[in-house]
């Protein structure tokens, strides 16, 4: 007898779903890594966008000579800044990049959830077969 409780010459029988489960584990790991990378890219894009917005706001303030000349209230100035950002092609490109990154991250997270559910179903089936 071996340390696995097998007689000499006896082979270990793998569950028929073992290969599929291991492939799912591999795919799940890759997808989680992709989601982590996408989250990092999204954070960088959001940071870049905030810096660009600050630059645009500073330009508008400098051009007006004083922030209060842009509007009497903070809400009015915020609208002026929002319009200035929308008029800036670089800002729009960064915003579109952020939106694409958000979508890609959402899709990757949804894929992780789907793969996890699938793996759990396979593992439950394997446990059920082992108990019978």
Range with the poorest average pLDDT among 9-13, 40-44, 73-77, 106-110: 9-13
Is pLDDT of 6 > 90? no
Residues 6+ apart with CB under 8 A from 95: 49
Q: What percent of the chain has pLDDT over 70?
A: 89
pLDDT tens-digit readout, 67-112: 889 888 999 999 999 999 999 999 999 999 999 999 999 999 999 9
**What is the C-alpha separation between 130 and 51, in angstroms, rounded?**
57
Tokens matching residue 13? 């029988």
Distance spanning both ends of the chain, measured CA to CA = 25
Is pLDDT of 1 > 50? no
């Amino acid at each position: 007898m071996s340390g696995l409780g097998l007689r000499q010459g006896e082979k270990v029988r793998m569950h028929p779903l073992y290969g599929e489960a291991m492939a799912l584990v591999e795919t799940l790991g890759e997808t989680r890594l992709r989601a982590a990378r996408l989250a990092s890219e999204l954070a960088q894009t959001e940071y870049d966008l905030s810096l660009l917005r600050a630059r645009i706001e500073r330009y508008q303030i400098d051009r007006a000579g004083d922030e209060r000349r842009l509007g009497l209230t903070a809400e009015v100035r915020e609208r002026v800044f929002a319009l200035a950002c929308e008029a800036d092609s670089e800002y729009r490109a960064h915003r579109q990049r952020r939106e694409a990154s958000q979508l890609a991250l959402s899709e990757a997270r949804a894929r992780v959830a789907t793969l996890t559910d699938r793996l759990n179903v396979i593992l439950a089936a394997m446990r059920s077969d082992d108990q019978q």
